[in-house]
Amino acid sequence: METDNPTLPLGYSPLPAGCVANLMTCLEMLAPPAPQPERPSPPGIAVEPWPAPDLDAYRALFRRVGENWLWTSRLLMPDDALRRTLHDPATQVHALTRDGTRIGLMEMDFRTEGECELVYFGVAEDAIGQGFGRLLMSYAIARAWAAPIRRFWLHTCTFDHPAALGFYVRSGFRPYAMMVEVHPDPRLTGHLPRTAAPQVPILPVGPQAGR
């Protein structure tokens, strides 16, 4: 999350044509939260390790979970780089399954000693609001702190589900930094369909953009 400009000026800053911006919140957990009563998984629901996933299958789930939140990094990453990341022994990928079909994704990065980054976390749109996120988070917290680690962290942004930030805070994470991320709109570059993330407007690119 490095940037060439460490701070933004006060006030409004125009975006480059064809780009979108979102406010990113970084959160961390420095000790395991108090144990919570275990909840049995609903019938047919399971969290399963997914070691060295096939790239096409991984990207398909990545898109299913993240398309409407403009997740793109794993779509843009070259195959060799993505394979090295996902197949690294210090990277753990897990899938939430319903009757054997993958409906949720969790990617955890232990490559920094003493830390775990929850890189990607989410469930498919048709699985939201059914308690599956809580089940997946309980699994993530237990898995991370079993490493052991000193710090468990993640970031969320204003493109994510509106309830995401509150969910992470209730899970025991605490905000420690905020950043603004600017990047090309993936719906204009062709990496995501123009119908993705209807809650984020597609701004015109061209002479009319300066009106």
Contact in structure between 71 and 37 (CB atoms under 8 Å): no
Task: Flag the least confident range among 36-40, 159-163, 182-186.
Answer: 36-40
**Does residue 207 have a cis peptide bond before it, meaning omega lies within 30 degrees of 0?**
no
Confidence of residue 4 (pLDDT cuts 50, 70, 90): low
- In order of their start, the domains of the chain are 42-200 (3.40.630.30)
What confidence score (pLDDT) does residue 20 get?
A: 94
What pLDDT does 205 receive? 79
What does the pLDDT read at residue 37? 74
| pLDDT of 53 above 90 | yes
Q: Beta strands of 112-173 (E only): which ranges?
A: 115-123, 151-157
pLDDT given at position 186? 95
Side-by-side strand order, sheet with 91-98: 45-49, 91-98, 101-109, 115-123, 151-157, 19-29, 174-184
- 129-181 per-position pLDDT tens digit: 999 999 999 999 999 999 999 999 999 999 999 999 999 999 999 999 999 99
Q: What is the mean pLDDT of the chain?
A: 92
- The pTM (predicted TM-score) of the whole model is 0.90
Neighbours of 110 (CB within 10 A): 18
Q: Please give the Cα distance from 126 to 187 (Å, whole number).
A: 22
Q: What is the pLDDT of residue 6?
A: 66
By C-alpha distance, which of 156, 209, 150, 154 is closest to 185?
Answer: 209
Residue 136 contacts residue 47 (beta carbons within 8 Å): yes
